[in-house]
Structure 1
Amino acid sequence: MRVLICLMMAIWLTFAPKPGNTHALDPGYLDLRQLTQNTWQVLWRVPDVNGQPMRIDASLPMVCTPAQGPQPIFDSVAWVTSWVTLCKTDLMGHPITIKGLEGQNNDVLLRVQPLKSAIATLRFTPAEPTVLLPQNPNTWSVFTNYFWLGFEHILEGWDHLLFVFALFILVRNPWRLVGAVTAFTVAHSVTLALATLGVLRVPAAPVEAIIALSILFLALEILKHRDGQFRLSEQYPWIVCFCFGLLHGLGFAGALSEIGLPSQDIPAALLAFNLGVEAGQLIFVTSLSLGIYLWRQVTRFESSQLIGPARSITGYAIGCVSVYWLVERVSGF
């Protein structure tokens, strides 16, 4: 089954589209900041889709005027608009809707900052485009929303998944693999926290290029594998993963900074986000392992003659994709 997975992934990696931005952490963002008892400052950030704002719009309750803002302006990353709205009654306890979200694949984060209560962080999804503003927000809402944001990011970030898949090919021992993935997340968490809090500032473009190089390094390790001879990534996978995890953490810290962290719950938000990343990685690895186990139980298929060619094809495919990303990202400097 490992042979079959290698071949299928090699085919997919060779012919699948290679998006320029492989970090999928690009939800919409709505910020409501209370100025006085009846007025709120609204910031609405819409993801860019081929040079146009995504066809979604934030709609405030009918008690607020205006309920929708002016046309957004492109700021080189997303489409942003802001306005001040006057609400006849307390906004908390009323519903807010993201129109058109049910037809998209993105989520929208909502941060509500009342004058006299705690900051609340909520999440709109295509399945639930309407949320009710809580009258008594708590830290648990921050934790759950940032956990799912981290979980979805790792499962939609192609370069992160490709890095983890290359580890899956290299490291045969399950516990060593789990340890390597966990080391990757620990390092990921350190640089993500430092960069998000403004302690560490690194230009995004070189980081993205080095991330592509880290995947290329693992591809070369796959191709240079010889039975009975352990490569560096096979003998000390946690060290390799920790070093590269520091880079991958910087890779999407900029996007998380744009979304923002709730000022009163920064530790909870960062912890939840990184736990979501770890959960996504482990589920990805578990799914691959479970697929191998089920295939072996059903077919009893195991061909040692195909393992070498399949490993080589997969290594070349991963290498081609990583080189493509490297050239694309370097050319964008």
Structure 2
Amino acid sequence: MTRLALILVTVLVTCFPAVLRAHALDPGYLNLEAMGQERWRVTWRMPDVNGRPMPIEPRLPDVCTNDPPPPPVFDGRAWTTGWVAVCTGGLVGGVIRIDGLENTRTETLVRYELTPGRTQVHRLTSAETAFTVPDDPGVLDILSSYVALGVTHILEGVDHLLFVFALLLLIRGWQRLLWAITAFTLAHSITLAAATLGWLSIPPPPVEAVIALSILFLAHELSLPPEARDPLAERIPWVLSFAFGLIHGLGFAGALREIGLPEGDVPLALFAFNIGVELGQILFIVLVLAVGYLAQRLYPKFRTMAAPLTKTASYGIGSLAAFWVIERIAAF
């Protein structure tokens, strides 16, 4: 079984190197920062596809100057360019479009200011490649945008999903699992709110490294027989998931800070983003449990294979987590 685990890990590392990153495919990012006097500083960030920028291009409202932007520069993860646009009469009522987005499976986050300091965010996808800039986004617009952003963030966050997956493998019994997931949810909701509102400030690199360490710890516990595991993880796993949930919440907050929150609607956007994270997490848990249930139904001997399969999974999870730990500490 050890040999099988090593083979699986080798195949994963060689054939799917993108999985080694916490977020396999970044979204496009368009930021329009108001400078006053009908001028906007535009920052355009395109995902990298095989060493080249993804073939998507922003189109600002017709009232804006749409001169060709400077050539993008690769920053090690994506391609970025920037320029200053003049939009006579402002952005309100204009259409912002991302050409080529309909041919992709990614999304683009549009962060814009109608006036300096008045931030709004809109999410564009392959199904919705353009939107009309509203004068004052309503409650439903903010809720839908930030719930979708929360769902997308958790489902694209391989590290967070891997932690939840390890919890599902580690904890035995429905009640213990329910308490552990509830504790994880409560904890990351607390630190997400505290960090986003500025009550708690910790630099992102150490947070990301500790998130990887939390996954490595669970992988180590999974590799041990139940009687040899840490008593805390075996008897009261909700305490462990609560403690690690506090750290993961800081990671969610870092992503939300990059996106930005609408001025005057911070509590609503924060609530919506957190709801989106929870919906994505629940969707993932239901999917994993459904796959496990179907496997038992289709292959009755699957239950007897649970222990060796769990140990095999621990090697794969631990290898990825160890890689992330080294990568993130090296990035300090």
The TM-score bracket by the shorter chain reads 0.7 to 0.9
- Quick one: which amino acid aligns to residue 85 of structure 2? V
- Quick one: which amino acid aligns to residue 320 of structure 1? S
What do residues 168-202 of structure 1 show as CA deviations (whole Å, max 9, x unaligned)?
11123234323322322222222223333333332
Partner of 2:311: 312
Partner of 1:276: 276
Q: Distance in 1 between matches of 2:24 and 2:256?
A: 11
What do residues 201-248 of structure 1 show as CA deviations (whole Å, max 9, x unaligned)?
323222222212111111122122326988422322221111111112
Contact 1:196 1:257 in 2 (8 A): yes
1:98 match: secondary structure = strand
Contact 2:32 2:42 in 1 (8 A): yes
Aligned residue runs from structure 1 range 286-305, under 5 A: 286-297=286-297, 299=298, 301-302=300-301, 305=304
Taking a change above 3 Å as real, the CA distance of residues 180 and 190 of structure 1, as seen in their structure-2 partners, is: same
Aligned residue runs from structure 1 range 253-272, under 5 A: 253-272=253-272
Contact 1:188 1:246 in 2 (8 A): yes
2:226 match: secondary structure = coil
Partner of 1:321: 320
Contact 2:296 2:303 in 1 (8 A): no
Greater shift, 217-226 or 68-77, is seen at 68-77
Q: Distance in 2 between matches of 1:124 and 1:13?
A: 35
Contact 2:5 2:312 in 1 (8 A): no
Aligned residue runs from structure 1 range 21-36, under 5 A: 21-23=21-23, 26-32=26-32
Partner of 2:154: 154
Q: Distance in 1 between matches of 2:196 and 2:81?
A: 21
- Quick one: which amino acid aligns to residue 41 of structure 1? W
1:301, distance to aligned residue in structure 2 (A): 0.5
Q: Distance in 2 between matches of 1:328 and 1:94?
A: 43
Partner of 1:145: 145
What do residues 89-112 of structure 1 show as CA deviations (whole Å, max 9, x unaligned)?
564333211122223333222244
1:314, distance to aligned residue in structure 2 (A): 1.6
Taking a change above 3 Å as real, the CA distance of residues 279 and 174 of structure 1, as seen in their structure-2 partners, is: farther
Contact 2:123 2:149 in 1 (8 A): no
Partner of 2:190: 190
1:60, distance to aligned residue in structure 2 (A): 1.4
- Quick one: which amino acid aligns to residue 285 of structure 1? I
Q: Distance in 1 between matches of 2:223 and 2:321?
A: 14
Contact 2:232 2:239 in 1 (8 A): no
- Quick one: which amino acid aligns to residue 157 of structure 1? G
Identity %: 43
Taking a change above 3 Å as real, the CA distance of residues 45 and 196 of structure 1, as seen in their structure-2 partners, is: farther
TM-score w.r.t. the length of structure 2 is 0.82
Pick aligned residue for 2:11 from 15, 26, 40: 15
What do residues 98-129 of structure 1 show as CA deviations (whole Å, max 9, x unaligned)?
1222233332222443359x864321112221
2:96 match: secondary structure = strand
Q: Distance in 1 between matches of 2:302 and 2:31?
A: 56
Taking a change above 3 Å as real, the CA distance of residues 199 and 81 of structure 1, as seen in their structure-2 partners, is: farther
Partner of 2:96: 96
Aligned residue runs from structure 1 range 56-205, under 5 A: 56-66=56-66, 69-72=69-72, 79-87=80-88, 91-114=91-114, 120-205=120-205
Taking a change above 3 Å as real, the CA distance of residues 61 and 12 of structure 1, as seen in their structure-2 partners, is: farther
- Quick one: which amino acid aligns to residue 218 of structure 2? L
Q: Distance in 2 between matches of 1:303 and 1:64?
A: 61
1:152, distance to aligned residue in structure 2 (A): 1.2
Taking a change above 3 Å as real, the CA distance of residues 40 and 62 of structure 1, as seen in their structure-2 partners, is: same
In structure 2, stretches of 5+ residues that fail to align are none
Taking a change above 3 Å as real, the CA distance of residues 175 and 63 of structure 1, as seen in their structure-2 partners, is: same
Greater shift, 176-185 or 234-243, is seen at 176-185
Partner of 1:55: 55
Taking a change above 3 Å as real, the CA distance of residues 323 and 120 of structure 1, as seen in their structure-2 partners, is: closer
Query: With CA pairs under 8 Å and 6+ residues apart, which has the higher RCO, 1 or 2?
Result: 1
Contact 2:61 2:95 in 1 (8 A): yes
Taking a change above 3 Å as real, the CA distance of residues 150 and 41 of structure 1, as seen in their structure-2 partners, is: same
Q: Distance in 2 between matches of 1:316 and 1:279?
A: 28
Greater shift, 273-282 or 58-67, is seen at 58-67
Partner of 1:233: 233
Q: Distance in 1 between matches of 2:311 and 2:67?
A: 58
Partner of 1:3: none
Q: Distance in 1 between matches of 2:290 and 2:52?
A: 41
1:71, distance to aligned residue in structure 2 (A): 4.4
Taking a change above 3 Å as real, the CA distance of residues 303 and 13 of structure 1, as seen in their structure-2 partners, is: same
1:30, distance to aligned residue in structure 2 (A): 2.9
Partner of 1:4: none
